Amino acid sequence: MTAETTTAKRVVCPGCAKKAKRVSSVTLRALLKDQFAAEIGDGDHACCDSNSEGCIPISEDTGWRFCDSTDCNVVYFSEEGDTSFTKSQLKVPVGVKETTGERPLCYCFGHSVASIKDEVRMKGRSDALEDIRVKMKDPGCHCETSNPSGSCCLGSVTKGIQIALEELESKDSNQKLSAPATSSSHRGENIAKIGTVVSAIMASACCWLPLVLLAVGVSGAGIAASLEVYRPLFIVVTFGFLGAAFYFTYRPKKAAAAGHGCCSPDPAEAGNCCPPSGIRRFNMMALNKVMLWGVTVLAVAFLFFPSYVGVLFGTGDDAVGTENMNRAVFQIEGMTCEGCATTVAQAIRQVPGVMAVEVSYEKKQAVVGVAPDQPIPEQEIFTALKQAGYSGEVVRQETTVTDDDQAITPANTNEGAVLNREMVRETVVNIEG
């Protein structure tokens, strides 16, 4: 009887226990780094024939196996013995064992997961398989010395196309999921800007609103005093909204590498996706900043409206200073700012017969001038003040001596002096507001 001893050949990867494919020693010698390629024997088996349909499967024992699993670092291992080679010992990256990056699939004609993604973005599909089939015939492939698997890449490219489509779809889903957060941020920024302007307008309403009501003939009685009470509150609210607007506009943006933006954490893909999006994002940020500063200027203009409203509309006339008018000085109650002085001046100007008005917010007084031969329309002025939301009283009244009066006045006599003094009258009249 003859004893036969059979040595079991290792067909599963020592790193992941997955069954591995045969690979030619030609591939190992071509793709292993020189110091490791020297360990490979002289066996030879070519798997590709450029004159036929391309690569053909290896059916004979070659002594070596190739592991394409992404779960381990082993690329080649011997069927007998404990020899194995890892990814770092090859001259080229093993695309089928990677999950990120460019991930080359066809080493003969330059197709990879990254290039397939670019193609799908541009055309909506990938023609990589058709391109490879055509080129396999002319000029022909050399998978046994270029592809780490040592075999035809069509199967790997087919899987790579599916992977590329899934990753693109996943990225689109992530962008859609992040859209509500982005929209919410923009909505908050817009609300803050609108709130800033509205609250600033309300903070100065005690000055501009009575002017508007006066212009359209509507009584604004008491409205200035009522709004003045809330002016400090509106000022605080304005600065609160303005601070929120600055926060939303200038806060640090979250990096897109988290997977919710356009840019992929994969450097190979970032070059194709980020620049256009970055330009759009820069333009939008610049526009938001310009809008924010415009809102800030507008808010400040409204907040300080009471300080310069007198310059815009005026609080008096130079004619008040002349001596050829009958004049009266009114003490005004209810003025709280320069804007009120403007409102008072506008109200008195509308009274028939009034030729000139000058209002002093500091003195809380209004000097009114009429024609020399006309009396001061006190009751009409009180009515106009009440309609505008103010009250007043006459504290002094001066009557101008006309030329006719001077003609009948004895000159250089004590009697004439007495008559002239009698024509200057001072009265104090209390009027209900």
pLDDT for the residue numbered 391: 86
pLDDT for the residue numbered 254: 56
Separation between Cα atoms, residue 47 and residue 56, nearest integer Å:
5
For range 412-431, the mean pLDDT: 37
Q: How many CB atoms lie within 10 A of CB 111?
A: 25
Checking if the pLDDT of 226 tops 70, the result is yes
- Of 37-46, 125-134, 374-383, 413-422, the least confident: 413-422
pLDDT tens digits along 37-84: 888 876 655 555 444 455 666 767 788 999 999 989 999 999 988 899
- The DSSP secondary structure of 334-376, one letter per residue, reads S--SHHHHHHHHHHHHTSTTEEEEEEETTTTEEEEEE-TTS--
Q: What is the pTM of this model?
A: 0.43
pLDDT for the residue numbered 250: 86
pLDDT tens digits along 200-219: 888 888 777 777 777 777 76
- Of 34-38, 220-224, 277-281, 283-287, the least confident: 277-281
Checking if the pLDDT of 146 tops 70, the result is yes
Q: What is the mean pLDDT of the chain?
A: 77
Which residues 6+ apart lie within 8 Å of 21 measured at CB? 58, 65, 66, 68, 149, 151
pLDDT confidence bin for 301, thresholds 50/70/90: confident
pLDDT tens digits along 356-372: 999 888 888 999 999 88
